[in-house]
A and B are shown apart, each in its own frame.
Chain A
Amino acid sequence: MNSIFTDPGFWHRLQFGFTIVYHYLFPQLTMGLAWFLVYWKWRALRTGDDKYNQAVRFWAKIFGLNFAVGVVTGIPMEFQFGTNWADFSKYAGGVVGQTLAMEGMFAFFLESAFVGALIWGEKRLGPRGHFAAAIAVAVGSWISGYFILVTNSFMQNPVGYQIEPNGSLSIASMSAYLLNPWAFVQFAHNQLAAVVTGSFVVAAIGAFYALRGLHPVQARLYLRAGTFVGLIASLLVAFPTGDAQAKMVGHHQPVTLAAMEGKFEGGPMAPVALIGQPNVAAQRLDNPIEVPGALSFLAYGHFGSFVHGLNDFPKDAWPDNIELLYYSFHLMITLGTLFIVLMGFATLQNLRGRLESSRLLLWILMLAFPYPYIANTLGWMTAELGRQPWLIYGLFHTRDGYSKVVSNGDAIFTLIGFTGLYFVIGLLFLGLTGREIGKGPKEPAVATIISEPEREAVLV
C-alpha cells in the first residue's frame, strides 16, 4: 500500500502542476502579443495606414480568446493555495500573500479594466483611447508577471522574511522581498520567453497566409514583425538572461545544477552533456557526448572551476525527479538554440527580400509555433522540479505543504474534473482560434468610429 498513489502529496502536486502548466499556455501568449498590439496601434496612429488597425483588430480577437481562458484558468491557481496547499499558506501566507494580493490590486484590476476596452471598445473609445487601452493591458500583464515571479523567487531563494513566534513567516523587509535578485533574472528570462511565444505565433499565422496566398499585406506584416522580434527575443532568452539564470541556480542551488546536468561526480573541468541519458540507479550518464569544461565555464566563469556533483550532497537533498529535471532542462536548451537558428535564418532571408518566396522556410515557420510553448513549459518544469524536495528552498519541504484535511478521493475527483473541463476548453479554444484565423483579418475597414454627436445621442 505504500505506493506513490497513496501519497496525497503526489495528487496535490499533479493537480497544481497540471493546472499551472495549462494556465500558463495562455498568459505567455498574451504577455508577448500585447506589445505587438501596442506597436501596431502606435504605427496606426502615426502613419494613419489602416493595415495596422486591421492587424490590431484581428489579433485583438486572438488575444481576447487567450485572455479569457487565461482569466478563467487563473482563478483556480490562487484558490489552490488555500484548497490544496493549506499548510504552505499557513506557513508562508504572510509573505507570498503580499505579492498575490498586490498582483490583484496593481495588475489584474488594470488589465481587466482595459481589456474589455481593447477587445470590445474600439468604436466606443476612438483611436487614442484604444491605444491607451492596449498599453494598459500590456503593462498590466507584465506587472502581473513580476508579482508572480517575486512569489516564485521567494520559493527559490527566500529573502526578506522573518519567523514569527508561532512559527509562520512574515515580511521583514519589503524591499528585499520585492527586489529579490532571483526575481529580476527570472522576470527578464521569463518575459522574453513569452515574447518568443508571441512572435512565433505571429510569424506562424503570417506564414500560413503567405503559403495560402491570402491577405498578402497582413501576411507580410506578421512575418516581418514575428521573425525580427523572434530573433531578438530568442537571443536575449539565451544570453544574457538564460545564462544568468543558470549561474544563479549554480550559486544558490548547486545540487539543482548538478541534477539538471545529470552530474553525479563533482570536479573541475566539468563538462556539458550534449547527449546522454541520466541513469540515477547506476549514478551515471549513459551514452554521453560531452564538451569538457563547458559547465565549469558557464556556471562559474572558468574552465577549471569546481562544479559539485550530486554525490557531494546528501541524498535527501537531491531533487526527487532527476531524470525529468534533466530532460526538461536539456530539451529547453535544445529548443532555444533551434529558435535562434530558425529566426536568424528567417531574418536573413527577410533582409535579402526572400522571406515570402522561400516556401520551405514558410512551412517551418508555420509549423514551429508549438515549440516555444513547449520550451516555456520545460523551463518552468526545470525551475519547479529543480527546487524539490523544497517548497521554499531550504526552509519548508513540499511534503509539509499540502492540505492534510483533504482526502485523496477529493483531490483525485477535482483532478478528473479539471482534466475534463480543460480538455473541453482546449477543444473550444483551438476550434474558435482556428475559425478566426480562417476568417482572417478583415481587409477593407468595416469598423467606423462613430462621430461625437452620434455617441452623445446614444449615451443620453
Chain B
Amino acid sequence: MIAIWYAVVSFMLIIYIVLDGRNFGAGMLQWFVAKTPEERRQVIAAIGPLWTWHEVWLLGFGGTLIAIFPRLMASAFAGYYLALFLILWCLILRGVSLEVGGHINDRLWQTYWDFIFVCSNFLLAILFGAAAGNVARGVPLNAEGNFSMAFFTDFNVRGYVGLLDWYTVSIAILAAVMLAAHGAIYLTLKTEGPVHDRSEKYAKYLWTAVVPIGLAILVESRFVRPDLPGHGWSNPFWWLGLIVTVVSIIALVSGLTTRNELRAFVGSNFLLVGLLATGAAAIFPVMLHSTLAPENSLTAYAVAVGPSSLRLASFWWPIGFALAVFYFIYISRRYAGKVSVQRDTQGFY
C-alpha cells in the first residue's frame, strides 16, 4: 500500500517536471532561439495558454505529499526552507513575466520581462536539479528526523552537507542542460519558421551534451551513494524505468535524426519519466537519506499517515486522477499543432 503511494507521489512529481520542464527549457532558450520580438512572442505563445495547467501539477504533488507523507513533507520543506522559497519566488517571477510581458506592446517592456523570464526559468531548472541532487545525496537528518541546511558548507558530500556541493551542482547542471534540450524539442514541435529551425539545432547540441554529463554523474553517484540502487534490482519499477529510458533514447535519437518531431517529443518526455522513475525506484523505501547516520533516514513506511487516511485517499485519488487525464486529453487535442502568435495570444494589443 505504502509502496503504491510512494509510486503515486513520485509519479505526480515526475509529471510536473516533464510538463513544466518544457516551459523551463523553452523559457531558458527564448533568447537563443528567438531573435526578433515577434519570434519571442512565438515562444511565449507556445507556453502561455498552458503554464498554469503545468504549474498546478506542483500543487497536486504538494497536496498529495502532505496527505500521504505529512512527516516527510514537514521535515523536508522546513529543512530546505530557503531553497524552497527561492523556487517559489522564481515561480512567481516566471508566471508574472509570462503574463505581464504581453500586456504592453513596447520594446523595452518586453525585453525586460523576457529577461526576467529567461533568468527565472534557468534558475528554476538549476534549483530543481539541485533539489534532486539533494534527494539523491541525502541531507543531514538528525535522530528526530529533522534537518536544517545551509546553502553550502564545505562542498563535500558527507556529514553536515549544504544544499550545494560538487555532486548536487553537477546534477543541477545536468538538469539545466537536459531541460533546455527538452524545451528545444517542445519548441521544435510547436513552432514554425526560424524559431523552429534554431530549436531543432539546439535540441541536437543539447541532447548530445547530456550524454557526457549524464555519464559523469553516474560515476559520481557510485562514489557518493555506493549503496544505490539499493533494492532497485528487485524492484519492478526500477526495471520498468530502465526499459522506458532505453526505449525513449532510441525514440529520441531516431526522431532527431529522421526529423520526426512528434517521435522526438514523445521520446524526450518519456526519457525524463524513465530517468526520474529509475531514480525514485532506486532510493525506495528511503525518501530522505541521512548523511549523518543511515538509521536517521526517513523511509516511506515511517513517514506515511495512518491506514485510515491512506484507505480514504485511495478512494478519491483515482477519481481525481481520471479527471486530470480527461483534461489532459482535452488540452492535448485543443492545443495540438503549431502555435501562431496571431491566434494564441490574449489579444491585448
Contacts and interface: CB of A to CB of B under 8 A. Distances in A.
A218 to B, nearest CB: 17
Interface in B18-77: 48-50, 52-53, 55-56, 58-68, 70-71, 73-77
B218 interface: no
Which secondary structure characterizes the binding site on chain A? helix
A403 B80 CA distance: 12
A112 B315 CA distance: 23
A403 B85 CA distance: 15
Interface of A: 57, 61, 64-65, 67-69, 71-76, 78-79, 81-84, 86-87, 89-90, 92-98, 100-106, 108-117, 119-121, 123-125, 162, 164, 168, 170-172, 174, 403-407, 410, 413-414, 417, 421, 425, 428, 432, 435-436, 446-447, 450, 458-460
B60 A109 contact: yes
A121 B323 contact: no
Contacts of A123: 343
A417 B60 CA distance: 25
Nearest to A129: B334
Contacts of A108: 56, 59-60
Contact of B337 (A64, A79, A458): A458
B347 interface: yes
A104 B323 contact: no
Interface in B290-323: 305-309, 312-313, 315-317, 320-321, 323
Contacts of B99: 64-65, 68
6 contacts: A86-B74, A100-B63, A112-B52, A168-B305, A404-B146, A406-B78
Interface stretch (B86-94, B174-182, B230-238, B261-269): B86-94
A436 B103 CA distance: 9
B345 A120 contact: yes
B85 to A, nearest CB: 5
B124 to A, nearest CB: 12
A82 B73 CA distance: 6
B222 interface: no
Centre residue among B88, B146, B320, B344 by max chain A CB count within 10 A: B88
B contact residues, range: 35 or more
Contacts of B348: 61, 436
B323 A90 contact: no
A78 B63 contact: yes
Nearest to A98: B67
A407 B82 contact: no
Given A79-B84, A110-B323, A170-B308, A101 B313 contact: yes
Interface stretch (B154-162, B242-250, B277-285, B324-332): B324-332
A73 B64 contact: no
Contact of B95 (A71, A171, A446): A71
Nearest to A136: B327
Nearest to A407: B148
Contacts of B76: 82
Given A109-B320, A171-B312, A93 B74 contact: yes
B216 interface: no
A71 B52 contact: yes
A64 B82 contact: no
Q: Which 6 A-B pairs have the closest CB atoms?
A: A93-B70, A82-B77, A105-B320, A97-B67, A101-B63, A170-B306
Contacts of A65: 99
Given A71-B55, A97-B70, A110-B323, A83 B63 contact: no
